Amino acid sequence: MMMASGAPPTPLLKLQNAESVASQAACLRTLKHELIGHDQRKETYVIWGILPILAQILASNHPSKVTSADSSEAKPFQYEDSSEYDACMQAIIISGTVAHGGPNFLPPIFASDLVSNVLAVLVSPDCPQAFTVPILRLLNAIADRLPLQSQEQALRDTRFADLIFSDENASALRRLVAQEYVDRNTQICIELAAALIGKVCTEEAHKAKLAECGVLDALGIKLAAFVVAQGYVLPGAANLVQEPDALGAFPAAAPASASLTPILRAIATIVEQSKRRAQHLLSSPGIVTVFPSQLAGFTPADVRRGPWGSTYLSGSAVPRQPGANPLDALLPPIPHSHERSSPNSTNFPPLGTAGSQRRPSSSYPTPFSQDEEKNSTEEEENSLVPYLLVITREESGLARLASAHLLSILVRLGLTRKDRVPMFSNLLVPILIEMLDKDSEASAGRVRSDDVNNISLAITQQVKEEAPAVLANLVMDDQEMQKYAVNGGALKRLSQLLKETYNPVSENLHSMWYAGGDAPVRDPKSVTAECRLGPPGYSPLMCHIMRYRENILKGLAALVPFKDEYRKAVCENGAVPYIIDSLRPRPTDAPANAESLPKNLAADGNPTPTILAACGATRMLTRSVSVLRTSLVDAGVAEPLFVLLKHQDVEVKTAATAVICNLALDFSPMKEAIVSADVIPILCEHAHSDAVKLKIESLWALKHLVYNTANDIKITVVEKLGPRWMLQRIAPPDEGEPDNRLLDEEMEQDTSVAMGGANSAGEHVDILNPTEEWNHFFYSVSLELVSYKFDYNTDPGAKHKRFPPALRRRSRLISWGVIEQNDQAARDQDAVREQTFDLIRNMICGEGAAEMIDYLFRDIGQDALLDTINESLKVRVFERFPINPQNPVHTINARATAHTELITAVTAVIVHLAAGLPRHRQLVVWHKDIMRSVIALLSHSHQKVRLNGVWVVINLLYAEDQNDNEGCRARAARLKELRVLPQLEKLEKDKDLDVRERTKTALHWLNVLS
């Protein structure tokens, strides 16, 4: 159709001038046929304002706008065969057609409020069933075309996700997922809603909301429906379906045509990096119904129920094998590894211990719940674990990958038995490695024309794209699985794949063709945001390549954190130059026209997610001294990192700073280059950032830079940071109970959603569609929860055991979520204090230490610094935070570990102050409280703290020269007065050899100076 470049298209003019809804619907139907498959026409219509018109049609004709005759209340609305129905349907379809045009159509779509109006139709109680599928397809099309974040974007754009997961819309998603599989249309709705969650839900706040409002429980029921259909329900589960936490009956079996993939992907997205959400899934009614806990060490068939409701064992009951699970019989037997020592092993422990300087091995952000002691009591493993392993072996394509992904998350969160590692190594790792190969059977899958995950790319491409990330998540912190993966050729394969992602791409790209010869032109002053196309961004193929490259980099980073030979293998396979090229961001002046899109050369740069993965891989390689001195230097690693330190994205700056930490070590050949490149002012500026992780990494890098360097550099650091700022960072926090406002806000939100179970009278309640009476009950209980001031040393849900199981589960999820936030904030605060103390320690050691001590005393304040050090020795870290009743051992160990790391850093500063000039020693020994605190720490449970305490005593007794003899005697007398001798005599029999030897030295000098 011919269109004049200076005037709106004729169909659009007719739509604007339509005199009735019927004529409007007819115009929309004509427009639909004009636009489908014609991107240049879509651009023309968008420029001339089609999107605001569509948004207005949806806003004026959706069901919630139609009221009864007396307008007193809304009435059920029937659209069938009406013009309003037709107009709305055509507007939705046209909107989806425009969204398929590409990322450049998304900015005007968002600016036109089209998404908000579409969602208003979807959440309406009277939304016609026929509207649901096209609306969900529209939302999925937008999700598939969200642009990869690049350097020109200062902040991650979360507008679409914020709309999708608002309170009202999240409840609508719960309702959609909770539907029964009654027909084909409903099945597609469920899969599209789940697929939307898997694509869009990336923010922690959104994941928490979906778990708390019942979406995760609804997904759990859908997963249970597949378990029923596949026949994997545990034997004896039928006897336990009436338990309070169960559904009361098995869910209806999922139809054979239904897809498990979107359900698994949505669940994995929500529970990722949160053990509490994963546990919430495992305790959800659907999972508990098909996978009940195996009681009392006997088979489920042996458990009987008496007439009074309690359970008892049959007379023929025989204890089952510990840890046995009926689903394990479907897996091949795997011999236990002899290389993996058990907690009770009598073998000698490895030389050395992982102290406070140990950094996370992962290039991913480490979830709070993952920081657990390895020897803590294992929780009972849910049968979902062997089920996922069985599905991974039996399925293919995306279903296999999705089940492996969810299983890897459970492994990472510590929700699987430790003795399953050989099984994962022999059964799961080879499958994931096979998925890396081209045209492998593991990548092949059943392709359906309506597959919600097969919109832009082939199934094999998606499997190849995501498999490296799943492998990385599985093996990240386990050396045995890393060994199996490397022996299976994963390093060599990933290195080769990384090289292939830099192969030049030839795309059939060309400029838009217009009948009039020129693009449609409008006066820039008259063009609003909803009529202005955005940048073209990456093509679908380039998006695939960039995500593939990102996941390959994650896989490489996860395989090499512990073994130097693995890091050298990466270099030998020639991957290092490509890793360094992946650190380069997309140029800010990248051409915006389609003909000049990146052709996949190194100079074309990378989006932000790929850069973050490259920083993680680089940081793992810098752990090797030989690799750092050779391959990384030859590849020019410093230059792109210095550029990334000034990147607009705070996560990129944090990741780059983490790499600088390793490059700034004293043995690194790049330390001088970092100083000469004027990086110190940048790091000092980052240390003042509100982003806690960036602050910690910057202080860590500065700590390494000032070690064994000239005093003028140290003084520059103090001046840039600010003496007063440094004092504030090491000061102990104000003691007090955690702020309950976050909990209050959470409990005040979404009080109308209950997740099911039995009420207080024992009556069954609809789990996912509560009645008004149930809503009122939930609201009243929520108010009581808000008014209740939790005792943070007990279970927050303990007071409410009388409440229905669903409400207890939700209150526990919310309350422990707030506690985790408070606890993590305290951990971050203490990590900043620890790094600042380490920075001060490195400033006052080595050549010129005495001058730096005087400088710090003068600029920070002698009394202020010493008093702050003393106060820090007295604070017990995390005493104001709760013991998790589900894992008290872990909580106590976490408290002790955090306390030890901070106290070690503080006492190390005192060690170096005591190694200064005689006047510095006098200040330490005669301070009113410091030495009393140090002597008390000689009985500390941790070897490092005791050792530092002994070193303080030794340094105080050391004579600088003959003129200091009297001073030494006075300090020895002072120490005896403080009763250090009995404490040292106890340490003569210390279990640690180093402590015993240093104690001998201290006692010798005390005796000599007596």
Q: Which of 53-67, 385-399, 754-768, 918-932 has the lowest mean pLDDT?
A: 754-768
Q: Which of 72-76, 243-247, 675-679 has the lowest mean pLDDT?
A: 72-76
pLDDT of residue 31 exceeding 60: yes
pLDDT tens digits, one per residue of 263-282: 999 999 999 999 999 999 99
Three-state SS string over 482-535 comes to HHHHHHCCHHHHHHHHHHHCCCCCCCCCCCCCCCCCCCCCCCHHHCCHHHCCCC
Task: Give the C-alpha separation, 483 to 288, whole Å.
Answer: 35
Which residue is listed with tokens 């009985």? 939
Alpha helices in 426-458 (DSSP H): 429-435
738-751: average pLDDT: 38
Phi, psi of 225 (to 5 degrees): -65, -35
Tokens of 239: 């006897």
pLDDT of residue 1 exceeding 50: no
pLDDT tens digits, one per residue of 465-497: 999 999 999 999 899 999 999 999 999 999 999
The more confidently predicted of residues 3 and 915 is 915
- At residue 341 the predicted structure's pLDDT band, cuts being 50, 70 and 90, is very low
pLDDT tens digits, one per residue of 797-829: 444 444 566 677 777 787 777 777 777 888 888
> What is the reported pLDDT for 668?
87
Tokens of 497: 């794949």
pLDDT of residue 751 exceeding 70: no
> What is the reported pLDDT for 786?
36
Reduced to 3 states (helix: H, G, I; strand: E, B; else coil), residue 477 is coil
Q: Which of 199-213, 429-443, 721-735, 742-756 has the lowest mean pLDDT?
A: 742-756
Tokens of 160: 């679409």
> What is the reported pLDDT for 757?
40
> What is the reported pLDDT for 826?
83
> What is the reported pLDDT for 619?
96
> What is the reported pLDDT for 748?
39
pLDDT of residue 376 exceeding 50: no
Identity of the highest mean pLDDT range in 443-457, 495-509, 922-936: 922-936
Residue boundaries of the structural domains of the chain:
1-146, 379-483, 489-506+533-622, 914-1010
Tokens of 414: 């510590």
Cβ neighbours of residue 920 closer than 8 Å, sequence gap 6 or more: 850, 853, 913, 914
645-670: average pLDDT: 92
Query: DSSP string of 813-850?
Result: HHHHHHHHHHHHHHHHHHHHHHHHHHHHHHHTSSTTHH
> What is the reported pLDDT for 882?
47
- At residue 398 the predicted structure's pLDDT band, cuts being 50, 70 and 90, is very high
The more confidently predicted of residues 523 and 665 is 665
Task: Give the C-alpha separation, 765 to 772, whole Å.
Answer: 11
> What is the reported pLDDT for 290?
94
Task: Give the C-alpha separation, 668 to 628, whole Å.
Answer: 7
pLDDT of residue 894 exceeding 80: no
588-604: average pLDDT: 62
Q: Which of 228-232, 347-351, 380-384 has the lowest mean pLDDT?
A: 347-351
Q: Which of 333-342, 825-834, 994-1003 has the lowest mean pLDDT?
A: 333-342
What is residue 794's DSSP assignment?
A: S
Neighbours of 369 (CB within 10 A): 21
User: Is residue 636 a contact partner of residue 577, using CB atoms and an 8 Å limit?
Assistant: no
Tokens of 931: 């030495």
Nearest to 767 by CA among 809, 726, 739, 704: 809
93-104: average pLDDT: 90
> What is the reported pLDDT for 918?
92
pLDDT of residue 245 exceeding 90: no
Mean pLDDT of the residues in the chain: 80
- At residue 28 the predicted structure's pLDDT band, cuts being 50, 70 and 90, is confident
Read off the amino acid at residue 123.
V
Neighbours of 456 (CB within 10 A): 16
What is residue 305's DSSP assignment?
A: E
User: Is residue 843 a contact partner of residue 706, using CB atoms and an 8 Å limit?
Assistant: yes
Task: Give the C-alpha separation, 924 to 920, whole Å.
Answer: 7
The more confidently predicted of residues 341 and 482 is 482
580-613 b/e (C-beta count within 10 Å ≥ 16 → b): bbbbbbbeeebeeebeebbebeeebbbbbbbbbb
User: Is residue 433 a contact partner of residue 485, using CB atoms and an 8 Å limit?
Assistant: yes
> What is the reported pLDDT for 348?
32
> What is the reported pLDDT for 501?
93
Q: Which of 27-41, 401-415, 853-867, 899-913 has the lowest mean pLDDT?
A: 27-41
Task: Report the residue count for the chain.
Answer: 1010
Angle between helices 261-271 and 184-200 (to 10 degrees): 30
693-721: average pLDDT: 95
Cβ neighbours of residue 508 closer than 8 Å, sequence gap 6 or more: none
The more confidently predicted of residues 252 and 537 is 252
> What is the reported pLDDT for 492?
95
Alpha helices in 158-315 (DSSP H): 159-164, 167-177, 184-200, 204-212, 215-230, 261-271, 275-282, 285-290
> What is the reported pLDDT for 305?
53
Task: Give the C-alpha separation, 799 to 815, whole Å.
Answer: 13
> What is the reported pLDDT for 516?
47
What is residue 942's DSSP assignment?
A: S
Question: Taking the model in full, what pTM does it have?
Answer: 0.84
Task: Give the C-alpha separation, 601 to 582, whole Å.
Answer: 10
pLDDT tens digits, one per residue of 506-558: 765 544 554 444 455 555 456 788 888 888 878 888 889 999 999 999 999 99
Q: What percentage of the chain exceeds 90 in pLDDT?
A: 50
> What is the reported pLDDT for 251?
93
- Domain 914-1010 carries which CATH code? 1.25.10.10
Cβ neighbours of residue 928 closer than 8 Å, sequence gap 6 or more: 870
Nearest to 388 by CA among 275, 470, 320: 470
Q: What percentage of the chain exceeds 70 in pLDDT?
A: 75
Neighbours of 317 (CB within 10 A): 16
Tokens of 526: 């008259």
590-615: average pLDDT: 75
Q: Own/partner pairs for 417-423, CB < 8 Å, 24+ apart?
A: 417/323, 417/378, 417/381, 417/385, 418/378, 419/323, 419/336, 420/381, 420/385, 421/337, 421/340, 421/478, 421/480, 421/481, 422/334, 422/335, 422/336, 422/337, 422/340, 422/480, 423/331, 423/334, 423/389
778-792: average pLDDT: 39
981-990: average pLDDT: 92
The more confidently predicted of residues 477 and 366 is 477
Sign of CA dihedral 423, 425, 427, 428: positive
The more confidently predicted of residues 378 and 786 is 378
Tokens of 849: 């230490």
Does the domain spanning 1-146 belong to CATH 1.25.10.10? yes
907-926: average pLDDT: 94
Neighbours of 827 (CB within 10 A): 18
pLDDT of residue 893 exceeding 80: no
> What is the reported pLDDT for 6?
63
- At residue 17 the predicted structure's pLDDT band, cuts being 50, 70 and 90, is confident
Task: Give the C-alpha separation, 845 to 911, whole Å.
Answer: 10
> What is the reported pLDDT for 323?
52
| Angle 628-632-634 from CA coordinates, rounded to 5° | 120
- At residue 924 the predicted structure's pLDDT band, cuts being 50, 70 and 90, is very high
What is residue 421's DSSP assignment?
A: H
Task: Give the C-alpha separation, 60 to 54, whole Å.
Answer: 10
Nearest to 874 by CA among 906, 842, 896, 901: 906
Task: Give the C-alpha separation, 438 to 86, whole Å.
Answer: 46
User: Is residue 780 a contact partner of residue 798, using CB atoms and an 8 Å limit?
Assistant: no
